[in-house]
Structure 1
Amino acid sequence: MAYLEMPDHIPLYYEERGEGETILLVHGWSCNGGYWWQKNVESLSESYHVVTVDLRGHGQSGKTDHNHTLSQYAQDIRHLMESLNLTDVTLVGWSMGTAIALSYFDQFGSDRLRSFVFVDMSPYMFSEEGWEYPLFGEFTPEALDGVVEALQNDRPSFVKEQILEAFFIERPSEDVIDEMYAEMMKTPTGVTVAAFQAFCDNDFRDVVGKIDIPTLLMYAEGSAIFPGDVGAWMHEQIPDSELVVFENSSHCPFWEEPERFNHELATFVAGLKDRMIGAP
């Protein structure tokens, strides 16, 4: 167990395993690093230095009612990398973790990074004329208000029956759903609301096209969270990108197809090293 104190004195929980090139895994909304990446860390750490982190307010990190913005989460990731002296990092973001990675790039460019891996996320959440890839396929400010109300008034049924239902092609057993919900409850309801609002308040469409490092796009064909073909759109915007589609997953390909996910990610990182060796 390791904690790093942020400049505003919030303790950030992180774990490290393995040696080699660094893969930093950033979890999604209301989740945490240790539980949600459990099917990936052991395999990846056989060849790489794998770091997981619990965002402030999430998991085992310090709880605070303040500073739950994507820019602050990205600054925390930056402070973690600086404190651990991490360079040439492959920054992996799942869902909101991708939005945090985009906020990092918007603030700091590609400093300390070698590559990105984005897992099933759209750069803009709301429905808009000419935009085909909002959250849930259709999402409005009024729908956001409804999500906030559901989280505040009936979080158990909303998370178990709607969010977790949409996470998977095949719903896990009720014991696993209860376990996942218990992990998500480590994030206080006020934090989940603030983080979800921050997630929805950002528009990273212009940022995506500026990415100048290799990027692996890992999207799920059956995603109920982002049902449109946003992976193809991202692939068109990012010059140096690869798109991998998981046919048997919804929002969590790292959980539903972990062997393939781990293989694709490890192969991508190995290819980065080959590029460096072959560079003039």
Structure 2
Amino acid sequence: MAWHWLSDGVPLWYEDHGAGRPLVLLQGLQFPAGYFWQKNLAALVEAGNRVIVLDLRGQGLSGKPSGDHSVARNAADLAEFLDGRDITGAMLLGVAFGGIVALEYLRSHPAHRLRALGLCEMSPRVMSDEGWEHPTFGDFPPEAARGYGAGVRADRALLDGFLDAAFADPLDPAIKAEMKAQMYLTPTETVATIIDDMVEPDFRAFLPEIALPTLLVYGRRNNPVMPGRVGAWMAGRIPAAELVELDGGGHSVFWEDPTGFNRAVADFASRH
């Protein structure tokens, strides 16, 4: 466990394991990295990767300032982290919100520190708009998407339903309670502020500009969060994309089918 201090004084918690070429993992919203990746970290290190996990601004064990928690701010923090730790030749893999941050990093910053990209269980456009077939939840009208953060501010239990939807099978009550305790390490206002902004970006037109080899991983089983085949849609637009669809889990496929997920990531990382 270590800390990287950003230029504005905010400490980012991170861990750096193993040797080999770097694999930087960005988890979904709320969960601390050490908890989120517990079923993946050891296997990916054993596959010969140097695996770096971190908590973004305001989340997990990192510093929790008030103010800007936008996707752009998180992408800038990531750029500062990679520069500050002098991480080069990395594969950057993001799940859900982590994938949104990864795409914003690529869109807004030079990609010279990366050799490859991985995106898991994310949509390039979270909310619905005319003609868009792959928003989160299959249908997420702008008024609902833009009101979601306010709903979380009023009652954070609103996210309990999302936790249920994120898993293909019902969670054991003890595991669910443990997960909620981990989620609540991130303050409610931070979560709501992130949600306010993360529903806005639209990366659809940017996808053909991605020059990096890109792994796309999606869960096919009982997945109301990403019910369509958004991964296939993205694979048709990212020039050097490889799509892996796993039947062993839903939105949390990295947790429900860690063997399949780890195999897909390790294989791709070894070839690119």
Residue identity opposite 2:123 in structure 1: S
Shift in Å, 1:110: 2.0
- 1:105 corresponds to which letter in structure 2? L
**Contact (CA 8 Å) 1:210, 1:238: kept in 2 or not?**
yes
Partners in 2 of 1:42 and 1:228 — Cα distance? Answer: 31
**Cα distance in 2 for residues equivalent to 1:111 and 1:190:** 34
Q: 1:69 to 1:145 in 2, by over 3 A?
A: closer
Q: Which residue of structure 1 lines up, in the alignment, with residue 148 of structure 2? A: 147
Deviates further, 118-127 or 103-112:
103-112
Q: Does the 8 Å contact 1:159/1:181 carry over to 2?
A: no
Aligned-pair CA distance for 1:145 = 4.6
Separation in 1, partners of 2:173, 2:220: 24
CA contact (8 A) 1:16 1:51 kept: yes
Equivalent in the alignment of 2:13: 13
Distance in 2, Cα, partners of 1:263 & 1:220: 14
Matches within 5 A, 1:128-139: 128-139=129-140
Other-structure match for 1:277: none
One-letter amino acid matched to 1:75: A
Q: Structure 2 unaligned runs (5+)? A: none
Matched residue, 1:275: none
Kindly state the Cα deviation for residue 206 of structure 1 after the two structures are TM-superposed.
1.3
Assess if the C-alpha contact under 8 Å between 1:110 and 1:212 holds in 2.
no
Partner-residue secondary structure (3-state), 1:79: helix
Residue 123 (1) aligns with residue 160 (2)? no
- Give the structure 1 partner of residue 267 of structure 2: 267
Q: Per the alignment, in what secondary structure is the counterpart of residue 236 of structure 2?
A: helix
**TM-score of the two chains, using structure 1 as the length reference:** 0.94
Q: Does 1:72 align with 2:73?
A: yes
Q: For residue 226 of structure 2, what is the aligned residue in structure 1?
A: 226
Distance in 2 (CA, whole Å) between partners of 1:16 and 1:126 is 35
Distance 2:246 2:41 in 1: 19
Corresponding residue for 2:205?
Answer: 206
Q: How far apart, CA to CA, are the structure 1 residues paired with 2:198 and 2:109?
A: 19
Percent identity between the two aligned chains: 37
Q: Which amino acid in 1 is paired with 2:127?
A: F
For 2:110 and 2:205, the matched residues in 1 are separated by 14
Kindly provide the amino acid, as one letter, of the partner of residue 83 in structure 1: G
1:104-253 matches, within 5 Å, as 104-156=105-157, 158-160=158-160, 162-222=161-221, 223-253=223-253
Amino acid at match of 1:159: L
Distance 1:146-1:75 versus aligned 2 partners, 3 A rule? closer
Does 2:27 align with 1:27?
A: yes
**For 2:154, what is the secondary structure of its paired residue?**
helix
Q: Are the counterparts in 2 of residues 15 and 52 from structure 1 also a CA contact under 8 Å?
A: yes
The answer to whether the 8 A contact 2:128-2:142 is kept is: no
Superposed displacement of residue 148, structure 1:
2.5
CA RMSD of aligned residues (A): 1.1
Alpha-carbon distance in 2 for matches of 1:145, 1:22: 36
Instruction: Summarize deviations over 1:184-234 as a string: whole Å, max 9, x none.
Output: 101101100111111101111111111001000001113221211100010
CA displacement at 1:242 relative to structure 2: 0.4
Q: What TM-score do you get using the length of structure 2 for normalisation?
A: 0.96
Residue 9 of structure 1 deviates from its aligned partner by 0.7
Q: Tell me the SS of whatever aligns to 1:44.
A: helix
**1:251-276 Cα distance to aligned partner (Å, 9 max, x none):** 1111000011111111111111xxxx
AA paired with 2:235? H
Give the count of matched residue pairs: 270
Please list the CA deviations of residues 68-96 of structure 1 after superposition, one character each: whole Å capped at 9, or x if unmatched: 01111111111111121111110000001
Aligned partner of residue 169 in structure 2, secondary structure: coil
User: Is contact 2:13–2:61 with CA below 8 Å preserved after alignment?
Assistant: yes
